[in-house]
Structure 1
Amino acid sequence: MSRRDTLRHHAGLVDEMATTLGVDLEEAAISGALRVDDISEAVLRCTECPNPGHCESFLAQTLAAPEAPEYCRNRDLLDRLAP
């Protein structure tokens, strides 16, 4: 997978995980609760995950969750933003 495809894939995982937790990343950025750079950093952290398949399985089986899984490299950020 090219670097660009990898970034797109992980951006999708970050966005889908946020949605599963009830977090609207766009709204968080507009309201000032999150900087656009924070979203970029979250995607880069996600690309460092040794097994994104865990995340993909979790997201495929979960419509809503109260918190991010323990293995999520963006757990602290997403849990902070969750309603």
Structure 2
Amino acid sequence: MSVLDIFGRLTQQADLMDAMMKKLGVEEEMWKMPDHAGVLRRAANRCLLCDRPDSCEHWLANESHPDEAPGFCRNHDLFERVLENMAHEKQPVT
């Protein structure tokens, strides 16, 4: 694998992670998290280790309003926690 191949993969995986966060509507919330830099770095590392970028790309292209990340997503649990936190924040205070 050449250096250009490595940079191409890094760019592709970063673009997929960004698209996944936007598709799920968690991008802004991720930046609000304590230690968001560390959280995003670990999420990016999980994404870089993913062996299913084609599946991810296909899922992103075919899902219009998903409730959650696909089960194969290495960041599924992280995104699920963020979505749950967002849902709790939207609940009216009684």
Q: Give yes or no for TM over 0.5.
A: yes
Specify the code of the residue in structure 2 equivalent to 1:80.
R
Structure 1 position 34, deviation (Å)? 5.5
Length, aligned pairs only: 81
Partner of 2:30: 28
Q: Secondary structure at the match of 2:55?
A: helix
More helix by share: 2
- TM-score normalised per structure 1: 0.81
Match 2:9 to one of 6, 29, 37: 6
Unaligned 5+ segments in structure 1 are none
Partner of 1:49: 50
What value does the CA root-mean-square deviation take over the aligned residues? 1.8
Structure exhibiting the larger radius of gyration computed from Cα positions: 2
Structure 1 position 76, deviation (Å)? 0.7
Runs of 4+ in 1 over 4 A off after TM superposition: none
Unaligned 5+ segments in structure 2 are 87-94
> Taking CA–CA contacts closer than 8 Å with sequence separation of 6 or more, which of the two structures ends up with the larger relative contact order?
1
- TM-score normalised per structure 2: 0.73
**Percent of paired sites with the same residue:** 33
Structure 1 position 10, deviation (Å)? 0.9
